[in-house]
Amino acid sequence: MSLKTRISDDMKAAMKARDSQRLSAVRMLLAAIKQREVDERIELDDAGVIAVVERAVKQRKDAASQYEAAGREDLAGNERFEIEVLSAYLPAQLDDAAIAEAVRAAIESTGASGPADMGRVMGQLKGTLAGQADMSLVSTHVRRALTGKG
């Protein structure tokens, strides 16, 4: 079953269960998927759907941190709930050790030797770790490895 089909089935289940908060989050995700398909005139595969989910999760994290900074814990809680719902559609995330190993291998294969080579290393890692790790965390690992502070 494709990821998009699974999301649609989850929306139907949330409707039947009358879980309005979950239904809202899943509908928002399906709307974002449809919007991207219409904008680009393509049918998204699982990788494309994962990219949409990642972007939605990142938006929710940013919103939650802004709500917390403004003292709106109620709205931040809603965002955290949506992050939880949306994260279920992402592949399992790699742990720090696996990320560090991937960074080490990428640095070795690209021959990177300093901070100036960060773009080359990140370019390679983006293709291999997309959907499996938070790229800002990967960037931190790469920066530490290339500056020798890690």
Which residue intervals of the chain bear CATH 1.10.1510.10? 3-87
Give the class (CATH, top level) of 3-87: mainly alpha
Put simply, whether the predicted model's pTM sits higher than 0.85 gets the answer no
- pLDDT of residue 150 exceeding 70, the answer is no
Q: What is the CATH number of domain 96-147?
A: 1.10.10.410
Indicate whether 149 pLDDT > 70: no
DSSP class per residue in 48-117: HHHHHHHHHHHHHHHHHHHHHHTT-HHHHHHHHHHHHHHHTTSPPPPPHHHHHHHHHHHHHHHT--SGGG
pLDDT per residue over 25-44, tens digit each? 999 999 999 999 999 999 99
Return the minimum-mean-pLDDT range out of 13-17, 19-23, 67-71, 116-120.
Answer: 116-120
Residue 98 has pLDDT above 80, yes or no: yes
For residue 113, the model assigns a pLDDT of: 84
Q: In the chain, list all ranges with CATH 1.10.10.410.
A: 96-147
